[in-house]
Amino acid sequence: MKIGVIGAGHVGLVTAAGFAHLGHSVIAVDEDQTKIETLLSGKTPFFEPGLADLVCEGTEKKRLTFSTLISDAVTFAEVLFICVGTPQRESGEPDLSAVEKVTSEIARSLSDYRLIVEKSTVPVMTGEWVKYTLKVLSDKEVSFDLAANPEFLREGSAVYDFFHPDRIVVGVETERARKIMEEIYHDIPAPILFTDIKSAELIKHASNSFLALKISYANALSQLCERVGADVNLVVEGVGLDSRIGKAHLFPGIGYGGSCFPKDVAAFLHLARSVGYDFKILKAAAETNEEQKRFSLEKIRKGVWNLKGKTMAVLGLAFKPDTDDIRESPSVEIVKMLLAEGCFIRAYDPAAAQNAKDALPEITICADPYQAAKGASALLVLTDWPQFAKLDFERIKDILLMPVIFDGRNFLPKEHLRSLGFTYLALGRT
């Protein structure tokens, strides 16, 4: 199948390279000339495990090409995936202007039948606008179909998730569209759920919001455990063993971040308001996520007394491990709160340090965790990079001004740290 992917970001580039690996012929389009030049030079514009090899394979096998022109994709491909960003506005409403812009450009280039596929995360009923735009801006006799095919890719495991999805969700309106989508995903061993377009659009927001809800529930439990003296890690382990609940995304910490959960929850709340539904349970999840960061700052304060003027060593700035992405990172939010309290920050992150430095010029980026700890009043571990649980903590204790460690992801060896004489602070761990 000849496929066009419009938007070569975290979703689009993985999708394009994944389709090429499946044997399809793919053209990936992005308006960002620099990004396309980077790709044409054989490099990838962002860190994602396995992606560079996949892109390389696609280009070497001449199954994956790049362009800045949408018209190239419309001419070349029978199926066009819209994978552009839908960032959050102040109101929480997703900004769909890029989707409209791309749809308009597709409409103006249409001359033969094309299947247009919404892969960007869009609120339900966006499909109606896409069809309307295609109809009013294309030549009358041109025929097209629309499909909705939301992505469930996690950053840091997006390539794996592309080839091993729990399910593929496809919203279609015609048998022709259904058959094309069946062929595209033919070699992926996962159930395909075919629905109408609105249901497919809604599944994405409903899934991500539920995952965010689950995380906030675990974070609420951490605050209860803090108050009653129970260990939340054991509580969520016990709860997660119920096969109806499951342990995934039930782990407490400083909160969820990233380019999806905060945005998707805000979009879903906005959508609910727009159709007259007060989505109380989801509002509570968003509020709990904000509260968890404030709760974390107060916990840190308990370990060091006055914050003003103190140097804090921060390990982890990415919103989660295995990515360089700091978008909506709770780690960065807490660093900002500490800076506002008058702290000095020495920080280390294996992948996201430069992105964080660009966003927060006043922090000092260190080459390794030990350099960050040098002369600091406390060590704050805010992203659960696995290597942070295996540090030489005796060495850390010697170079810290105070033997205080805050475990923002409840994953450090609590007993070992206490045996070394650390004041170990976490979220709901006795």
**From 225, 260, 343, 366, active-site residue:** 260
Site residues for ligand UDX, 235-294, by CB under 6 A, read 249-251, 253, 256-258, 260-261
The dihedrals phi and psi of 420, each to the nearest 5 degrees, come to -85, -5
The question of whether 260 is a catalytic residue gets the answer yes
Q: Is 152 in the site for ligand UDX (CB under 6 A)?
A: yes
Residue among 256 and 268 whose Cβ is closer to ligand UDX: 256
Nearest-approach distance from CB 161 to ligand UDX, in angstroms? 7
Residue among 152 and 268 whose Cβ is closer to ligand UDX: 152
Q: Is 208 in the site for ligand UDX (CB under 6 A)?
A: yes
Residue among 40 and 245 whose Cβ is closer to ligand UDX: 245
Q: Is 211 in the site for ligand UDX (CB under 6 A)?
A: yes
Angle between helices 280-304 and 197-228 (to 10 degrees): 40
Nearest to 12 by CA among 73, 95, 93, 92: 73
Residue among 66 and 152 whose Cβ is closer to ligand UDX: 152
DSSP 164-207: S-S-EEEE-SSHHHHHHHHHHTTTS-S-EEEE-HHHHHHHHHHH
Say if CB 236 and CB 211 are below 8 A apart: no
Site residues for ligand UDX, 397-426, by CB under 6 A, read none
One character per residue 160-179, x = contact with ligand UDX (rule: CB under 6 A): --------------------
Q: Is 154 in the site for ligand UDX (CB under 6 A)?
A: yes
Within 8 A by CB and 6+ apart from 318, the residues are 324, 325, 326, 329, 331, 349, 351, 352, 383, 385
Alpha helix segments (H runs only) across 87-164 = 97-109, 126-137, 158-163
Nearest-approach distance from CB 260 to ligand UDX, in angstroms? 3
Task: Work out the angle at residue 233's Cα, subtended by the Cα atoms of residues 232 and 234, and round it to the nearest 5 degrees.
Answer: 90
Within 8 A by CB and 6+ apart from 207, the residues are 152
Among 81, 144, 217, 319, binds ligand UDX (CB under 6 A): 319
The number of beta carbons lying within 10 Å of the beta carbon of residue 417 is 20
> How is residue 327 annotated by DSSP?
T
Residue count, binding to ligand UDX (CB under 6 A): 19
**Which single residue brings its beta carbon nearest to ligand UDX?**
260
Nearest-approach distance from CB 274 to ligand UDX, in angstroms? 22
Q: Is 155 in the site for ligand UDX (CB under 6 A)?
A: yes
Q: Which residues contact ligand UDX by CB under 6 A?
A: 151-155, 208, 211, 215, 249-251, 253, 256-258, 260-261, 319-320
Catalytic residues: 260
